[in-house]
Amino acid sequence: MSAHDTESSSSVDALAQQIAALLRKPSTTHGLARTLRAAAKEIDLHRHHSASQKAWPSGRVDHMPRKVQIGGGSHRIDGFFNIDAVPPADLLWDVREGIPLHDGTVRKLFSEHFLEHIDYPRSAKYYAREAYRVLAPRGQLITGVPDASFVLDPYPIGTSESTEMIRRWYGNRDCLADINTHLDLINYVFRDQDDDPKYNPHYWAYDYEKLVQLFTEAGFKRVERWDFDPEIASPKRQWGSVYVIATK
């Protein structure tokens, strides 16, 4: 480790300690506490990413997996190499900084309920370009996200499907009592719980049209709806989501 790396790591550790101390103080205001909790989350991601970056300073791992899962969390797919910013993962890496794989080496790249958790346009568009870069010719990018049109189409009244969506997606959350109108449901789909230690917020909403535009702009030749495959995707994500497959 270089002297610069040591100094940087020490600075991050000192910042984390200062944040923890401020969060313990009763005098810390609600607004500042929200910001500090978000910063503390980012520090954890930074630490994981930095540890892997030290092992692979070029930003490219030696391993060349043919099937890759991005941001899988606890949903692991047999035969897929899982890259995520937090454990458990085969490689801890913050893909907002790029995908650490070699050009044209991946046959299939899969993610679901990941894209909405990174900022748009900087990180989302960069991720789309990086996915295009690492895929081999005719390689496929499969992406699933909460379908914004699913909650926007019935606005402002809502439907029985709105009630079902609340039950399926938020029934076990502590936010259930705060979803009082259909607009509340829309806000949760667009933002999620942005100040909760268990959940990362949603930064952007997507529908089929937006996914087509995003991946076409990144260079993909064809973007179309993907036929849901429970052998790859999580069955609990199918309802209220939209999936596309983009071919390089």
pTM: 0.93
Q: What is the pLDDT of residue 161?
A: 83
C-alpha to C-alpha distances, 77 to 64, 100, 179, 230, 236, nearest whole angstrom: 17, 19, 33, 10, 14
Q: What is the pLDDT of residue 162?
A: 83
Q: What is the pLDDT of residue 143?
A: 98
Give the tens place of pLDDT for each residue, 31-52.
Answer: 999 999 999 999 999 999 999 9
Give the tens place of pLDDT for each residue, 180-208.
Answer: 999 999 998 898 877 777 778 999 999 99
Residue 216 φ/ψ, nearest 5 degrees:
-65, -40
Segment 19-36 shows an average pLDDT of 97
**Partners of 84 in the β-ladder:** 92
